[in-house]
């Protein structure tokens, strides 16, 4: 009897198109084969393999893997993935703008549970780690590149100020001001927070230059910097401005001192020298009296509502800890509630037997104090209007010079002899005082109403006149650089530009300041002389006028005023206020709070880039459309920093809540 032949599994069968993809050897027995689709084994005979392929079970199991079926399903799957990416991107933008990143852990799951019939919600996969990495590695670089591209190769200015965050890290806030080609107007927006290694001028200047290089901006295009009046910034010998000019080749760099700081410091300095200290004591201690006691606030509220037919009192404000008398709202609030406050302290000094209440009552009973505050309210009202003009976001920069000059002239006119032949912007006014100064209707009417002792009235008048003289001189001394810079800008006033006869001297000086070559300067002057020959529609608003010139094209599709328009928008981009950089620090305090005090500088910067990027685009988080190349990164690991970089420990401070996983706070 012949030997029985046993068929064994043959590896070559797997390359046969009929069996490819589903036929494998059965582990443990080489006489059997295994089907991956059916999860079943059978004899490793070619006839049995072919027979299995034709069974109903195998036919049903193989359908999902059929190539023709897969091709039909791919577009739907691709569409689902794209919609999920868009959902993740929109959610990341919303979380960045409105809440903490740890909230993403629950928001994603909540969306899946609430919108179970949505394919985008079903495929939504983003938690805290991915959200943080997408913000740092995808969204923030996208908005930063978009900003740098908008700046382009034109001149820009920087607003610089120092601050510390909740973790006592010292940062330099940098805001860029430039003419936006996409928005067709001058914009001021966040450029970055830079951690400072030292507080000296060279460290700050070095940090600024290095940061500009990192952003891809040319330092040679830096036209001006706006700073506060700190000596480290504005020092003649070793200030940041001086270092940038001499050590970094920015010889034409313009320095603008923040006007709002200058005005408040001028008023504060003059108040300390001329107004009795008891007046500031009265304002400060009135706030302190109510700030520490809800019981006192309720007692005062009852008195105020009784006198004013149920109307609720406005709270005594605290705007500045060191310059109380330089803030008009503080003084106005005290004056508006003077009678009610006097009555409150009259009652309290007896009911509480409190010495402070007795002192404050005696001060509220002194008519000289109300006369001083009435005078200050009138003067500070004018100062406050000038400050608001400089703090505004949508303002005509050429009207700022008029506001500044008008303030100085208006203050001086209260005491200046009408017949005096003097320019208050060029010299002191001490020798030109009127024998009968008029300190305003509020002061004069209140003085007549109070019937002060002549000696007391004379003393108050003398101090108020001294205040006015000193304030005029302080404003004149503190603001010469600002006035000169604003005069440069005023050259591009619409009326001045469209004059038929105008001198080229100022425009020539500005062109040299901007670093133009002689040939370019000649071209700018010729354009300046010829610009009135064309008809322009926007002649009321300066920025609108130059925006129209910027976009103008002739029959050959060429802008014949391109160089002049570029020079104009460059000068108009000079800074004039610190309001925008102060807003950055306010946002920094909101983002990096006591309960999020371990946030890294990179994440803090990224959040601010996105928030200001959305603000600049004028879109809400759910309206902004990200380009496809940015959306593609939401499905890759390329944007994950921990994939390509070693872990670096962030500096930390002790948190009020040691639980880092609380989704409400991180």
Taking CB atoms within 8 Å and a gap of at least 24, the contacts of 425-428 are 425/476, 425/483, 426/476, 428/473, 428/476
The pLDDT score that the predictor gives to residue 636 is 61
Average pLDDT value for residue range 465-469: 93
The pLDDT score that the predictor gives to residue 178 is 92
Q: What is the 3-state secondary structure (H, E, C) of 273-329?
A: HHCCHHHHHHHHHHHHHHHCCHHHHHHHHHHHHHHCCCCCCCCCCCCCCCCHHHCHH
**Dihedral sign for Cα atoms in the order 499, 504, 510, 516:** positive
CA angle 335, 339, 340 (to 5 degrees): 105
Average pLDDT value for residue range 593-599: 83
Q: What is the pLDDT of residues 68-99, one digit of tens each?
A: 555 444 444 445 457 778 888 888 899 999 98
pLDDT over 70, % of the chain: 89
CA angle 600, 606, 612 (to 5 degrees): 135
Q: What is the 3-state secondary structure (H, E, C) of 341-385?
A: HHHHHHHHHHHCCCHHHHHHHHHHCCHHHHHHHHHHHHHHHHHHH
Average pLDDT value for residue range 403-412: 87
CA angle 401, 406, 407 (to 5 degrees): 100
pTM equals 0.75
Average pLDDT value for residue range 513-536: 88
Average pLDDT value for residue range 421-446: 87
Q: What is the pLDDT of residues 22-35, one digit of tens each?
A: 888 888 888 888 89
Range with the largest mean pLDDT of 16-20, 187-191, 516-520: 187-191
Cβ proximity of 204 and 232 under 8 Å: yes
Range with the largest mean pLDDT of 2-6, 85-89, 485-489, 558-562: 558-562
Greater model confidence, 611 or 425: 611
DSSP 7-70: ----GGGGGSTTTTTTEEEPTT-TTEEEETTTTEEEE--HHHHHHHHTSHHHHHHHGGG-HHHH
Q: Quickly state the pLDDT bin for 660 (edges 50, 70, 90).
A: very low
The pLDDT score that the predictor gives to residue 69 is 52
Cβ proximity of 187 and 180 under 8 Å: yes
- pLDDT at residue 638 tops 60: no
pLDDT over 90, % of the chain: 23
Average pLDDT value for residue range 98-102: 86
- What is the H or E stretch that residue 254 is in? strand 254-257
DSSP 611-654: HHHHHHHT--TTT----HHHHHGGGSSTT-HHHHS---PPP---
**Dihedral sign for Cα atoms in the order 342, 348, 349, 350:** positive
- pLDDT at residue 412 tops 50: yes
DSSP 401-453: HHHHHHHHHHHHHTTB-TT----TTTS--GGGB-SS----HHHHHHHHHHT--
* Cα–Cα dist 666/651, whole Å: 16
- What is the H or E stretch that residue 603 is in? helix 601-617
* Residue 127 per-residue DSSP state: -
The pLDDT score that the predictor gives to residue 324 is 53
Q: Quickly state the pLDDT bin for 372 (edges 50, 70, 90).
A: very high
- pLDDT at residue 321 tops 60: no
* Cα–Cα dist 628/298, whole Å: 59
The pLDDT score that the predictor gives to residue 325 is 56
Question: Over the Cα atoms of the chain, what is R_g?
Answer: 36
Write the CA distances from 220 to 155, 224, 253, integer angstroms: 8, 11, 9
Closest CA to 637 of 143, 139, 80, 137: 137
- pLDDT at residue 637 tops 70: no
* Cα–Cα dist 246/433, whole Å: 44
Tell me the average pLDDT of the chain.
83
Average pLDDT value for residue range 620-632: 87
Residue 449, CB half-sphere, CA atoms under 13 Å: how many? 11
Average pLDDT value for residue range 4-11: 79
Greater model confidence, 261 or 523: 523
Strands 170-180 and 185-195 come out as antiparallel
The pLDDT score that the predictor gives to residue 139 is 92
DSSP 446-502: HHHHHT--HHHHHHHHHHHHHHHHHHHHHHHHH-HHHHHHHHHHHTT-HHHHT-SS-
Range with the largest mean pLDDT of 176-180, 254-258, 380-384: 176-180
- pLDDT at residue 551 tops 80: yes
* Residue 537 per-residue DSSP state: S
* Residue 514 per-residue DSSP state: T
Q: What is the pLDDT of residues 205-218, one digit of tens each?
A: 999 999 999 999 99
Q: Quickly state the pLDDT bin for 649 (edges 50, 70, 90).
A: very low
* Cα–Cα dist 279/464, whole Å: 13
DSSP 130-183: HHHHHIIIIIHHHHHHHHHHHHTTS-EEEEEEEEE-TT--EEEEEEEEEEETTT
Cβ proximity of 159 and 174 under 8 Å: yes
Torsion angle in degrees (nearest 10) through CA of 362, 366, 370, 375: -130
* Cα–Cα dist 573/255, whole Å: 13
Cβ proximity of 153 and 221 under 8 Å: yes
- pLDDT at residue 480 tops 80: no
Name every residue whose Cβ is closer than 8 Å to that of residue 544 and which is 6 or more positions away in sequence. Answer: 538
Per the listing, tokens 């800890």 go with 321
Average pLDDT value for residue range 437-460: 90
From first CA to last CA, the distance across the chain in angstroms is 84
- pLDDT at residue 647 tops 50: no
- pLDDT at residue 141 tops 80: yes
Average pLDDT value for residue range 354-363: 93
Q: Quickly state the pLDDT bin for 627 (edges 50, 70, 90).
A: confident
- pLDDT at residue 644 tops 70: no
Average pLDDT value for residue range 436-442: 88
Q: Quickly state the pLDDT bin for 374 (edges 50, 70, 90).
A: very high
């Amino acid at each position: 009897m012949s030997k029985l032949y046993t068929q064994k599994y043959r590896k070559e069968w797997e390359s046969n198109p009929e069996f490819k993809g589903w036929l494998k050897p059965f582990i443990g027995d080489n006489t059997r084969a295994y089907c991956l689709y059916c999860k079943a084994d059978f004899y490793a005979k070619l006839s049995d393999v072919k027979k299995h392929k034709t069974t109903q079970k195998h036919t049903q199991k193989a359908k999902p893997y059929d190539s023709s079926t897969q091709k039909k399903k791919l577009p739907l799957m691709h569409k689902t993935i794209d919609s999920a990416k868009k959902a993740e991107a929109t959610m990341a933008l919303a979380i960045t703008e409105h809440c903490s990143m740890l909230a993403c852990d629950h928001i994603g799951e909540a969306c899946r549970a609430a919108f179970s019939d949505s394919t985008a919600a079903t495929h939504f996969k983003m938690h805290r780690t991915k959200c943080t990495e997408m913000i740092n590695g995808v969204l923030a670089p996208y908005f930063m590149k978009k900003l740098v591209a908008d700046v382009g190769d034109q001149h820009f200015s920087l607003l610089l100020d120092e601050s510390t965050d909740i973790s006592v890290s010292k940062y330099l806030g940098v805001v860029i001001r430039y003419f936006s080609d996409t928005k067709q107007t001058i914009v001021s927006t966040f450029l970055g927070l830079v951690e400072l290694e030292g507080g000296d001028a060279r460290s700050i200047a070095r940090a600024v230059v290095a940061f500009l290089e990192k952003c891809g901006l040319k330092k040679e295009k830096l036209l001006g910097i706006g700073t506060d009046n700190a000596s480290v910034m504005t020092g003649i010998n070793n200030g940041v401005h001086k270092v940038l000019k001499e050590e970094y080749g920015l010889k034409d760099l313009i320095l603008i001192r923040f006007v709002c700081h200058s005005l408040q410091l001028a008023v504060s300095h003059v108040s300390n020298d001329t107004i009795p200290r008891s007046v500031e004591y009265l304002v400060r201690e009135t706030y302190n009296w109510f700030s520490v006691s809800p019981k006192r606030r309720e007692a005062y509220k009852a008195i105020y509502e009784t006198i004013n037919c149920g109307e609720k009192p406005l709270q005594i404000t605290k705007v500045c800890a060191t310059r109380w008398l330089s803030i008009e709202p503080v003084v106005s609030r005290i004056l508006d509630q003077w009678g009610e406050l006097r009555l409150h302290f009259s009652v309290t000094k007896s009911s509480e037997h409190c010495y402070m209440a007795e002192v404050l009552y005696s001060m509220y009973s002194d008519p000289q104090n109300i006369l001083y505050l009435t005078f200050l309210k009138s003067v500070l009202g004018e100062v406050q209007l000038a400050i608001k003009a400089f703090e505004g976001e949508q303002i005509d920069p050429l009207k700022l010079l008029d506001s500044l000059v008008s303030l100085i002239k208006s203050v001086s006119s209260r005491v200046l002899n009408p017949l005096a032949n003097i320019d208050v912007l060029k010299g002191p006014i001490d020798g030109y005082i009127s024998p009968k100064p008029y300190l305003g209707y509020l002061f004069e009417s209140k003085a007549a109403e109070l019937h002060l002792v002549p000696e007391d009235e004379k003393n108050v008048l003398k101090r108020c006149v001294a205040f006015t003289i000193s304030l005029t001189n302080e404003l004149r001394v503190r603001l010469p650089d600002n006035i000169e810079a604003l005069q440069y800008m005023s050259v591009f006033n619409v009326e001045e530009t469209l004059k038929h006869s105008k001198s080229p001297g100022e425009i020539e000086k500005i062109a040299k300041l901007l670093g133009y070559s002689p040939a370019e300067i000649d071209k700018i002057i010729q354009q300046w002389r010829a610009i009135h020959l064309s008809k322009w529609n926007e002649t009321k608003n300066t920025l609108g006028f130059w925006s129209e010139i910027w976009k103008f094209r002739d029959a050959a599709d060429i802008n014949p005023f391109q160089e002049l328009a570029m020079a104009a928008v460059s000068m108009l981009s000079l800074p004039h206020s610190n309001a925008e950089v102060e807003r950055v620090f306010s946002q920094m305090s909101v983002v990096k709070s006591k309960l999020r005090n371990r946030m890294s500088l990179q994440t803090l910067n990224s959040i601010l880039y996105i928030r200001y990027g959305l603000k600049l685009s004028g879109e809400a988080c759910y309206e902004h459309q990200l380009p496809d190349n940015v959306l593609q990164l939401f499905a890759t690991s390329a944007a994950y920093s921990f994939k390509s970089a070693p872990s670096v420990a962030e500096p930390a401070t002790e948190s009020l809540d040691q639980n880092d996983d609380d989704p409400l706070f991180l």
